[in-house]
Structure 1
Amino acid sequence: MSSHTRPPQPGIRLHVDLDGDLRPHRSAKIEARLRVDVAADGAPTDLPAVQLAVIIAVDVAEPHRAAVRHALPTALRALPDRISFAVLGSGPEPVRCYPRGDDEWAVADRDERRRAAFVAGSLPLHREGPRPAGYAAWVAAARALLAGRPVSVRHLVLITDGSSAAGDTRLEEELDACAGQFTCDVFAVGTDWAPDPLLALAERLHGTAEFVDDGLGHAITAAIQRLRRVHTPRLPIEVTVRPSVRQVSLSEKAPRPHRLGRLPRPGRPHCWSFPTYQWEQGGRDYLLTLVADSDADPLETELQFAMVSVGDVHVPVTARWHLPGQSPHHAPAGADSVRSLNATAIMRDDLRRGLVALQEHRWDAARRYLGQAARLAVRFGADWVLDEIHAVADVEDAAAGRIRLRTVDAGALGPLILRAGSRPGGPPAEAVGARPGPRCRGCGTPAGSEARHCIACGEKLL
């Protein structure tokens, strides 16, 4: 996955909500909700297939061959013309089984699709013998292969039954190395896989993880079609902070929970870049968290703690330290927005924790977490959460969080846990458009439309 994007550039709108009245403290936490909307603005409907490189990796043991016997050839026959693709099979280490010979990549046309579908019928799978490598080996193989394909969108489709996950201790290290290199969708088959590493792959590599009981070929095809709807493969969100801010973090909350890594900007010690990926037309919600010291700041004065920049759009994050012992005259407009974002994240987490507790036969914990998730689901109208709870419990009073657990096969809980951790959330609230703001004439640093002084050099903006 590279930083290349295709013209024309998308239209971007950015809006910031936060609780602007803070209590002074040496390590005060400031939370802001960022809403970023991207519009196609004349870009073609589909990304040209020549700009995509996809690896289909089959991490499946021989007893589960039936799960991929027909699905994989079906997906290969449906590849769009001119897409770059490769197929990896299973062994003690990932094995490149198509294209064969010296070529690392195939470019889809009628003949390539036909040959690939034929080869897929004899795809090597895990057999008795040496223990297969873990998930780290699959993403490492994908990283090495994709490094030689500098196209706009680089993606791994990993099909797994969990047979190679045992003893995998290098996954976090390898995911750090893969950050920003490519994205990944995971399709789980069978019943012997653990949800946590699959969710880690999806979260860290900005994709999805889902259980597929039937229709695997269609699921792979749909994932590739979604890649073609990507208007902006990589869109960094930059955060420039005042010197009193000691910590900065940014996480995507909707439509899917993703942990974002931050990159320093050379020569700009107070600026951080958070790359995001695979932007289709639409919006996303992020939670920006700052930890700031108040020792040298004035009280009851509007201060700019950060500048958020997406493309040429810049919005300030402003707040004030409130006098100790006093309350603001009114509730800040952004406080409810931030609380709602946090509560929605808690709802997802409670649902997942409850299902995991149920899988581990910790009944009291399962009842507590699922009850809390039900109560929040009523508050936010998240019917899908209630549907998931109904699969494992009788909901006596959702608003009060009262449920009665049912006897459930622990092996059937894996798909529910995957959905709780990777399923898209509901549509976020409508955003207010933000227009590009001014720049400091002295140092050129961008400023929000309401800013009065430069965050970098302190000069008054004209």
Structure 2
Amino acid sequence: MTTPFTVEVFQNEYLAHGHGEVHAVVTVRGAYDPAGLPGQRGPVELAEVILLDCSGSMGNPRTKIVEMRRAAAAAVDALPDGTWFAIVRGSGIAEAVYPAGRELVRADERTRAAAKERIGRVDADGGTAIGRWLTRARELMATRPDAIHHAILLTDGRNGERAAEFDEAVAACVGRFQCDCRGVGADWRVDELRRVATALLGTVDAVRRPQDLATDFQSMINNATNRAVDRVSLRVWTPRNATVRFLRQVAPFVTDLTGIATRVDELTVDYPTGAWGSESRDYHLCVTVPPRTDDMEMLAAQVGVVVSGQVRCRERVRAVWTSDIDLSTRIAPEVGPYTGQVELAQAIQEGLQARRDGDEATATIKLGRSAQLARQSGNEGTYRLLQHVVDIEDASAGTVRLKRNVDTIDEMVLDTRSTRTVRVNR
């Protein structure tokens, strides 16, 4: 059977005597047509739930709820015919805006018009209970169990639920649907939305102006509805006495998959990656193996793509011990830059947290290192965002000064976009 997935492994397989840590970048490419997969009858089924924050704060300023309505209407217009969808009004509870019942409705000219009419009447009132919004999305998704499930969540405020209630709701949604999260304004918490997006294999971003919501919503819908296969996993096999230290997606953005692995057997684990279309993603795999002190070669890991329980393709990761220093000290050109970009994301987040805590010394060191790494990796987008928060005196040395007057939204945009990476050219 021909698979629409391909896997490539890039690494320096040579290790110095006494070392036992193997690094590799795994590039996975999918080439799917949303009209249907090989052997599949008809197009795939898609399900979309749009979760709109309609708490009282969305009415101040009024621009937020006006632009939210326009964005939700634009998202509905972008839904392909046949997509199952629902609109949910989020406040202290989660209420169906359209349709009124507990099931999704198919998108067509009539249902899109009806949904937009209902969206135009939503107003701002009540609190914020993100966990309850997610629970309603999960219940709606369950009515179309064979669909590819995706949600958009928009908020402008902090979650008002108890931490345990919120965590329980997020955990119950893992594996049920993917969720892209957006915050508008400067009163929401990046860590709350990042928690949702990470657990539900989505993205998080700060929308600087309410007027930008419509374009962003359309983009998220287009990305979601161009996916054609769901529940794709990376399967990693390691020999006895070897362990996976971590597996991170490193392009197009950084997210750590290590903690969401499920064990298949004693030697094999699966890492869920969500739904795929025609796209390419890079993953950084680190495996620890028993160190050797002689010239020896071993298979450190095998990495494959799993679709519907079937392994579609598989590549090897090797470990070769050598006394040749030139070989063992080489840094694979595909691995080194991503290591720096992961450090970049961590340094930005730690630097911003130190700034919020009033620890200016740590903030200066961390954000200086961020400027240095952004310049080294060619991540010009992140470098420009850093300039809203610090004055960069010498990027190559990591010398910066904290700006005294920084808009909160500039910090939030930098924080949410810290995980975006620059693709390594091959």
Which amino acid in structure 2 is aligned with residue 138 of structure 1? W
Equivalent residue, structure 1, for 2:421: 425
Report whether the alignment pairs 1:159 with 2:154.
yes
With over 3 angstroms needed to count, the CA separation of the structure-2 counterparts of 1:262 and 1:124, relative to structure 1, is same
* Ranges in structure 1 where 5+ consecutive residues have no aligned partner: 1-6, 431-462
Report deviation, 1:11. 4.0
Cα deviation digits, residues 225-276 of structure 1 (max 9, x gap): 11122244332211111011144531111111123221222xx321111121
1:330 partner SS: helix
How far is the alpha carbon of 1:162 from its aligned partner? 1.8
Percent identity for Structure 1 against Structure 2 = 26
Asked if structure 2 preserves the Cα contact closer than 8 Å seen for 1:90 and 1:125, the reply is no
- 1:366 is displaced (CA, Å) by 1.7
Greater helix fraction, Structure 1 or Structure 2 = 2
For the Cα contact (< 8 Å) 1:17–1:333, is it kept in 2?
no
User: How many residues get paired?
Assistant: 406
Q: For the structure 1 residues 44 and 149, does the alpha-carbon distance in structure 2 shift closer, same or farther, using more than 3 Å as the test?
A: closer
Work out whether 1:186 is the aligned partner of 2:176. Answer: no
SS of the counterpart of 2:163? coil
In structure 1, the partner of 2:9 is: 15
Residues 350/302 of structure 1: CA separation in 2 closer, same or farther (3 Å cut): same
Aligned 8 A contact 1:245 1:291 in 2: yes
Q: Does 1:136 align with 2:131?
A: yes
**Equivalence for 2:227:** 230
Return the offset for 1:334: 5.2
Give the 3 Å change call, closer, same or farther, for CA 329–215 of structure 1 in structure 2.
closer
1:343 Cα shift? 1.4
Instruction: Sort the Cα spacing of 1:51 and 1:163 in 2 relative to 1 into closer, same or farther, 3 A.
Output: same
**Matches of residues 42-441 of structure 1 in structure 2 within 5 Å?**
43=33, 51-65=45-59, 66=62, 67-69=64-66, 70-71=69-70, 72-101=72-101, 103-123=102-122, 125-127=124-126, 132-133=128-129, 135-165=130-160, 167-212=162-207, 213=209, 214-260=211-257, 261-265=260-264, 268-294=265-291, 299-310=294-305, 311-321=311-321, 328-331=325-328, 335-409=332-406, 411-412=408-409, 413-421=411-419, 424-430=420-426
Partner Cα separation in structure 1 for residue 334 and residue 103 of structure 2: 48
- Offset at 1:160? 0.5
**Separation (CA, whole Å) in 1 of partners of 2:134 and 2:140:** 10
8 A contact 1:353–1:366 mirrored in 2 = yes
- Following the alignment from structure 1 to structure 2, what is the Cα–Cα distance between the partners of residues 355 and 329? 39
Query: Could you list the per-position Cα deviations for residues 267-323 of structure 1 after superposition, in whole angstroms to 9, with x for gaps in the alignment?
Result: x321111121233333222111223344xx78321011211122432221111356x
In 1, Cα distance between equivalents of 2:165 and 2:13: 40
Are residues 19 and 361 of structure 1, via their aligned partners in 2, closer, same or farther at CA, if it must alter by over 3 Å? farther
Structure 2, unaligned runs of 5 or more? 306-310
- Is the contact between residue 29 and residue 281 of structure 2 (CA under 8 Å) also seen in structure 1? yes
1:235 is paired with a residue whose SS is strand
Distance 1:124 1:163 in 2: 18
- Return the offset for 1:125: 4.3
Residue 394 of structure 1 deviates from its aligned partner by: 1.8
**Contact in 1 for aligned 2:230/2:275 (Cα 8 Å):** yes
Deviation at 1:56, TM superposition (A): 0.6
1:152 CA displacement: 3.9
- C-alpha change, 1:164 and 1:176, in structure 2 (3 Å) is closer
Deviation at 1:149, TM superposition (A): 1.1
Matched AA of 1:284: R
Residue pair 2:57, 2:157 contacting (<8 A) in 1 also: no
Instruction: Determine if contact 1:16/1:315 at 8 Å carries over to the other structure.
Output: no
Cα deviation for residue 327 of structure 1 reads 5.8
Deviation at 1:122, TM superposition (A): 2.9
Counterparts of 1:249 and 1:177, CA distance in 2:
24
**RMSD over aligned Cα atoms:** 2.7
CA distance in 1, matches of 2:176, 2:58: 30
Provide the C-alpha distance between the structure 1 equivalents of 2:104 and 2:186, rounded to a whole number of angstroms: 32
- 2-side partners of 1:79 and 1:180: how far apart? 23
Quick one: which amino acid aligns to residue 117 of structure 1?
K
Q: For residues 53-77 of structure 1, what are the alpha-carbon distances to aligned partners after superposition, in whole Å with 9 as ceiling and x for unaligned?
A: 1111112322414323332234334
CA distance in 2, matches of 1:29, 1:140: 41
The one-character-per-residue Cα deviations of 1:386-407 (angstroms, maximum 9, x if unpaired) are 1011112221111111112222
How far apart in 2 are the matches of 1:238 and 1:364? 43
Return closer, same or farther for 1:191/1:181 CA change in 2, 3 Å cut-off. Answer: same
Runs of 4+ in 1 over 4 A off after TM superposition: 44-50, 332-336
Helix, strand or coil for the counterpart of 2:288? Answer: strand
Aligned in 2, Cα 1:30/1:126: closer, same or farther, shift over 3 Å?
farther
The residue aligned with 1:449 is none
What is the alpha-carbon distance in structure 2 between the residues aligned to residue 361 and residue 46 of structure 1? 54
Question: In structure 2, the residue corresponding to 1:224 is in which secondary structure?
Answer: helix
* Cα distance in structure 2, aligned partners of 1:38 and 1:78: 23
Given that residues 38 and 282 in structure 1 are in contact (C-alpha distance below 8 angstroms), is that contact kept between their aligned partners in structure 2?
Answer: yes
The 1-side partners of 2:222 and 2:354 are apart by 36
CA distance in 2: counterparts of 1:140 and 1:175, whole angstroms:
8
- TM-score w.r.t. the length of structure 1 is 0.80
> Is the CA contact 1:184–1:206 (under 8 Å) kept in the aligned structure 2?
yes
Structure 2 CA distance for aligned equivalents of residues 262 and 180 of structure 1: 12
Task: Tell me the CA shift for residue 411 of structure 1.
Answer: 2.5
User: What is the aligned partner in structure 1 of residue 22 from structure 2?
Assistant: 30
- Distance, in Å, in 1 between the alignment partners of 2:362 and 2:78 is 45
Structure with greater strand share of residues? 2
> Which residue pairs with 2:308 in the alignment?
none
